[in-house]
Amino acid sequence: LLMRFLSQVGHEPLPPTIGRNVLGRKVLYLPGFFTYARHIVEVDGKRGLFRGLTPRLISSTLSTITRGSVKKAFPLEDMEHVSNKDDVKTSLRKVVKETSHEMMMQCVSRVVSHPLHVISMRCMVQFVGREVKYSGVFSSIGRIFKEEGILGFFVGLVPHILGDVIFLWCCNLLAHFINTYAVDDNFSQASVIRSYTKFVMGIAVSMLTYPFLLVGDLMAVNNCGLRAGLPPYAPAFASWIHCWRYLSAQGQLFRGSSLLFRRAPIPAASFPID
């Protein structure tokens, strides 16, 4: 998690190396996962790899508990089993109902767990400037409340929720239409293929919604008093849309999406961020 987030904020302490792509052309590659991890251990020791882990675990726990509580409080009404041979409209209605229920659970759990996610991001990004502003969970909560108020706990929430919602609907609807129209019931392995469709769609759609995750994480640390979120290291964004436009102009909307084969960005001219 730490290596990925540091690459998201653009912290590249190690020089790129020359490699070759699939066409045999020379390209510059940024250090991969293991090289980056080795650098962190050299600077911070092995404990440095676990920066922000405690608030991250609490955030995940809160998310799981909240989803379970919402599911119990608002149970999904049982619908009759609908096979792909049944009426398409009935089948689609079932998917829409299930996705709507799943979206509600995801949005509520995201709101509840996001404050701890913000603290986790800030604990991790302190690696860049060697700061100790955010350490314990409770002290971090007090600092954010004092400096930014309640809204400080929810910076970056909107792009995260938008990404979650788009992911759920695209993944579920695409899987439904593929299973309904592309997979023939006469095929002997139809049931096996259908069981993996949603998983495959999840991987594909997660790449498309990655920019929302990136922007949300960057906004969580932007202009919060830490070096990695302040000029000249990073612009002070007025909103998440401002951040999105800046990254888009730089061609960096997928920065940090991979930790294995990372192409070094092509130097760009100065882009306006107004």
Q: 69-108, pLDDT tens digit by residue?
A: 999 998 877 544 444 445 556 788 889 999 999 999 999 9
260 in Cβ contact with 3 (< 8 Å):
no
| Mean pLDDT confidence for 212-224 | 96
Lowest-confidence region among 86-95, 117-126, 139-148: 86-95
Q: What is the pTM of this model?
A: 0.86
For 207, the token pair is 């790449």
Domain residue extents for the chain = 1-74+94-250
Opening angle at CA 216, ends 214 and 217, nearest 5: 65
Tell me the angle at which helices 210-221 and 157-177 cross, rounded to the nearest 10 degrees.
170
- Tell me which residue of 217, 221, 248 sits closest to 236, measured CA to CA: 221
Q: What is the pLDDT of residues 155-208, one digit of tens each?
A: 999 999 999 999 999 999 998 888 887 766 666 676 777 777 888 899 999 999
Architecture category of domain 1-74+94-250 in CATH: Alpha/alpha barrel (1.50)
